[in-house]
Amino acid sequence: MQRFALRLFLSLLGAPPIVAQQAPDLSGVWQALNSAAWDIEDHPGRLDTPPGQGIVEGGAIPYQPWAAVRKKENFANRNVADQTEANCFLPGVPRATYMPYPFEIVETPRLIAISYEFAHALRTIPLDGSPHPDGLPDTWMGDSRGHWEGSTLVVDVRNFNDQTWFDHAGNFHSDALHVVERYTPMDRDHILYEATIEDPKVFTRPWKMSMPLYRRVEKNVKILEYECVFYLQEERFKNAPFQR
């Protein structure tokens, strides 16, 4: 149903699913294969966390002193304070990319849409050169505007709220977050994903994360329905008559 709705939305735009000449076609189902959703920095394994190598270039996030203290507090309270994990809220950008669920990119000449299996998250990325509109409210997934630099899709994302985290370890940002994503094809089945993070309220300087994305190549692969909110309701209200 989610994939059908996405393609119906794109078809209403009147643009065929063919990208402009010279631009690579990123359409397909993709997934990150790492433990960044639990912690984007190097981390050991714990009962609820697989060990992992960090995706932050340079190793450490350049927090301001007060923010480093806040990050430790977030970690201590992560099981209730992480809105994405605790309440199935949207994960934000870039976290949606490396959640342990696949996502689908659908490309047209005028825009790119990304549909995520987790929480039915959906992003539309105009490619028409239009700026971020004035007066937009802050949102969980931000406002995305894209363009091509050679074979690389560059996406500028702004207008975030301050409720999302970068991971389940409590790495956080403010409503001043600005993200620039770069999707560079390495070959047909691999994309180099890079995200530059800027937030002068929280960090001492911009910093960057990077990782490969892998095309899902199973026969008839598709985005499925991960009904996070329904599962949460079942757990919290065990005898309530919920309908699937």
Per-residue model confidence (pLDDT) at position 10: 54
Per-residue model confidence (pLDDT) at position 229: 82
Closest CA to 169 of 45, 66, 62, 19: 45
Question: What is the DSSP secondary-structure string of 60-88?
Answer: S--B-HHHHHHHHHHHHTHHHH-HHHHH-
Q: What is the mean pLDDT of the chain?
A: 90
pLDDT at 76 exceeding the cut of 50: yes
In sequence order, the 6+-apart residues with CB closer than 8 A to the CB of 208 are 56, 57, 194, 195, 196, 197
Q: How confident is the model at residue 200 (pLDDT cuts 50, 70, 90)?
A: very high
Q: How confident is the model at residue 234 (pLDDT cuts 50, 70, 90)?
A: confident
Q: How confident is the model at residue 180 (pLDDT cuts 50, 70, 90)?
A: very high
- Specify which residues 185 forms β-bridges with: 191
Inter-residue contact 169 to 46 (CB < 8 Å): no
Per-residue model confidence (pLDDT) at position 15: 47
CA distance 235 to 106: 34
Q: What helix, strand, coil percent values describe the chain, rounded to 5?
A: 20, 30, 50
Q: Is 131 left (phi over 0), alpha (psi -120 to 50) or beta?
A: beta
CA distance 166 to 184: 21
Per-residue model confidence (pLDDT) at position 175: 97
Q: pLDDT, tens digit, for every residue of 10-32?
A: 554 544 444 444 689 999 999 99
Mean pLDDT of 168-172: 98
Question: What percent of the chain lies above the pLDDT cut of 90?
Answer: 80
Inter-residue contact 26 to 105 (CB < 8 Å): yes
Q: pLDDT, tens digit, for every residue of 202-228?
A: 999 999 999 999 999 999 999 998 888
Q: What phi and psi, each to the nearest 5 degrees, are found at residue 3? A: -65, -40
Greater confidence (235 vs 173) lies with 173
CA distance 68 to 50: 23
